[in-house]
Amino acid sequence: MNIVLITKFSFPATINVVLLIVRLFLGPMIFTHGYRKFFRGGRLAGTAGWFEKIGMKPGRLNAVAAASTETGVGVLLTLGLLTPLASAGLLALMTVAIVSVHRENGFMISNKGEGMEYCLALSVMALALGTLGPGKFSLDFSMKIFSHWSFSTDFFVTLAVGLGAALLQLLACYRPPKPS
């Protein structure tokens, strides 16, 4: 019986391609959310007003933080750079979205007010990518960043940093509106 030791950067080519595809979905997708907060629709002022309405105060600070995190995480995931930390950023964003907006609406995104299904799916994808790493088609691989970390270290760093950042933001800024 042959035992093959698999490390983050010794995946077969197919897994490296799949990790690239996941990054090329998650990165531009979350980047676009941040870009839209900065430059489309109601821009930062509109986003700030909406954040105030849902209880994320001060709205302007949270709008800038969300848009900046989304664009930064988007670029990092697309490039495969600092992947466990970028994945933690996406996990933090989705956790705050679930707590502040979507949890009251149940699971299904088709529920009135949109449920948490989409945010949970993105959270799981971020945790998986943070754990497995970006694959060989990434800057992390070419620059040997995080190459000495194990899968369990990547998992716990992604989970702890992501949930920790979300918890800190929620404790500092989330003041749920009173029901009318």
Residues of the chain by 3-state class (helix, strand, coil), percent to 5: 70, 0, 30
pLDDT at position 110 is 80
pLDDT at position 172 is 97
pLDDT digits (tens, 9 = 90+) for 3-55: 545 666 678 899 999 999 999 999 999 999 999 999 998 899 999 999 999 99
pLDDT at position 42 is 87
Locate tokens 């989705």: which residue?
Answer: 94
pLDDT digits (tens, 9 = 90+) for 81-109: 999 999 999 999 999 999 999 888 888 87
Share of the chain above pLDDT 70, in %: 94
Question: Per-residue pLDDT for 124 more than 70?
Answer: yes
pLDDT at position 109 is 79
What are the backbone angles phi and psi of residue 174, rounded to the nearest 5°? -85, 115
pLDDT at position 112 is 86
Share of the chain above pLDDT 90, in %: 78
pLDDT at position 80 is 97
pLDDT at position 1 is 55
Average pLDDT value for the chain: 92
Question: Are the beta carbons of 30 and 74 closer than 8 angstroms?
Answer: yes
CA distances, 95 to each of 98, 124, 129, 153, 159 (Å): 5, 11, 16, 21, 11
180/170 Cα distance (integer angstroms): 22
3/64 Cα distance (integer angstroms): 49
Lowest average pLDDT, out of 4-8, 64-68, 75-79, 156-160, goes to: 4-8
Check whether the bond before 134 is cis (ω within 30° of 0): no
User: 59-79 vs 83-97: helix axis angle to the nearest 10?
Assistant: 140
pLDDT average, residue stretch 139-167: 94
Q: Is the pTM of this model over 0.85?
A: yes
